[in-house]
Structures are given as structure tokens and as C-alpha cells.
Amino acid sequence: MMRSLLISSVTPKILANAHLYEADYLIFDLDKTISIEEKDSARELLVQAVKHIDYNLDNIIININLISSDYWKEDIKDLFAAGIRNFGIHLEEEKHIKEIDEFLRVLENKSNVEEGSCKIIYSIGKPFLIMNIQNIVMSTNRILALSFNKDEFRGKIKVERHKNNEDLSLGKKMLVMGSALKDIYCIDSPFEDLSDEDNFIKEIKNDMNIGFNGKICFHPSQVRIINNIYKDSYYYKD
């Protein structure tokens, strides 16, 4: 099940408690929330935490740095050695998929891990990539889930923010189409306004109705709300 995905920042306090909130998956972010000077220390902190805290490693996703940056290979290498198999990647260009697959294949063979055991969640927001979703999904067997990056999508589409998120609907629906090609999850990006619970619930229900299976959130209080709504969804019933 991938109903709720809780994003946690990599700080000592949060790392020790993050697994107590009953989220289906935990996402630890090394990308945007970490400054350039602290990339090395955050990565090491995460490696040590994974070794010492009794996380369920199948349900941990590490959001690694952009493929166009200098850090992603080390991110994957160090955390792979610590036992992590799920990685979250913000997809910038389609050609990166091959590069990632090849890098993981070499790594798996070198460490005698079964080929294809590393899975990836791609965060996709560029309209060009969303239109190409069929090629993306069919070109690799490593996709665990597709996640809709609404900020990037909105930035490219250039419309004013709608209250009912009408501006996002086409992108979301196309992503659902993509995830339907294979049996992979389709998940939505976080809802920002913590005080606005009504619209939060509305958004989850709307997502559920068009075929999403889960939602990312960044506050523990949102986890239970998401789990409760998706519990009754057609997808998770059997």
C-alpha cells in the first residue's frame, strides 16, 4: 500500500521519530531541503540512521539530488550500501532514465544484489515529460510510482492558481494514464496549507476519483487523514 508518504527532513530529531507516525512510506529528502555545504553531512547522518534505527527499509524512500548535480551518484552508492532500495528522483530529462538504470545495474551486479531490485519514484511536472509519459513508463522496469509535481507543472502552464485546482487536472489525468500502463502507483504532491483541512480532504477525494493511489504530505497530522480516505478506495479494497 502506498496511501500516505510522509516527507521528513534529515535532522537528528526527526530521524529518530519519523517511523512512529504510521505513514505507509517515509521519504527522506536530500535534495531541496539540504544546503550545498551540508550535503555530505546529511547523507552520512541518513546512512547512520538507517543502520541504527529499526526502520522497515522496504518502506523508506530517499529523495536524491538532481541527476544534473554532482551528488546523486554518491547519494545512491552510500545509501544502497546501507540497504536502501527505493529512491525518489525529480525527473528533469527523459534521457536521464537510461543513465540511472545503467548506474543501478552496475551497482547491483557489483554487490551481488538481484538485478532490478532498486526501484524509483519519479517526480514529474514538466508538461513535455507528462506528454511523453508512455515512453517513460515503457522504457524502464524500475518505476515503483509516479508522483505529480504540481509546482513545476503550474510554473510551465502559466495560469493563475485555481481554488479547485482545475489548472492541474489535465496533467494529473495524464499521469494516471501513464501509471495504468503498468501496475505502478500514482501519487500526488503535498497540500501546503495545514490549517485548511476542508480543501485538503477535497483534494484527496478528487485525486482518488481520477485514479490516484496516494498522497505525499509533510506533516504527521496529515497522515491519518490520507490513510482514512484511501482505506475505502476501490484500489485498496481487495
Partner 1 sequence: MIRSCGNEKDSDALVIVDLENKGRNIEINSKLKDMFGEYMEKAIIEILDEMEIKNIKVILKDYGALDFVIKARTKVAIKRALKGGNK
Query: Do 3 and 231 contact (CB within 8 A), yes or no?
Result: yes
Backbone angles phi, psi at 187, to 5 degrees: -125, 155
Tell me if 54 contacts partner 1 by CB under 8 A: no
Query: Distance between CA atoms of 85 and 185, rounded to whole angstroms?
Result: 17
Tell me if 12 contacts partner 1 by CB under 8 A: yes
**Identified binder of partner 1 from the candidate list 22, 32, 36, 48, rule CB under 8 A:** 48
Q: Which is nearer to partner 1, 19 or 154 (CB)?
A: 19
Residues facing 186 on adjacent strands? 146
Query: Do 43 and 30 contact (CB within 8 A), yes or no?
Result: yes
Residue type, 182: K
Tell me if 16 contacts partner 1 by CB under 8 A: yes
Tell me if 51 contacts partner 1 by CB under 8 A: yes
Lookup: cell for 75: 547519494
Q: Which is nearer to partner 1, 47 or 113 (CB)?
A: 47
Q: Which is nearer to partner 1, 17 or 164 (CB)?
A: 17
CB of 3 to partner 1, least distance (A): 29
Tell me if 45 contacts partner 1 by CB under 8 A: yes
CB of 12 to partner 1, least distance (A): 4
CB of 60 to partner 1, least distance (A): 15
Query: Distance between CA atoms of 161 and 58, rounded to whole angstroms?
Result: 36
Q: Which is nearer to partner 1, 52 or 156 (CB)?
A: 52
Query: Distance between CA atoms of 103 and 76, rounded to whole angstroms?
Result: 9
Tell me if 49 contacts partner 1 by CB under 8 A: yes
Nearest-5° Cα angle at 106, 103 to 112: 135
Query: Distance between CA atoms of 50 and 105, rounded to whole angstroms?
Result: 22
CB of 77 to partner 1, least distance (A): 14
- Catalog residues that contact partner 1 under the rule CB under 8 A: 11-13, 15-16, 40-41, 44-45, 47-49, 51-53
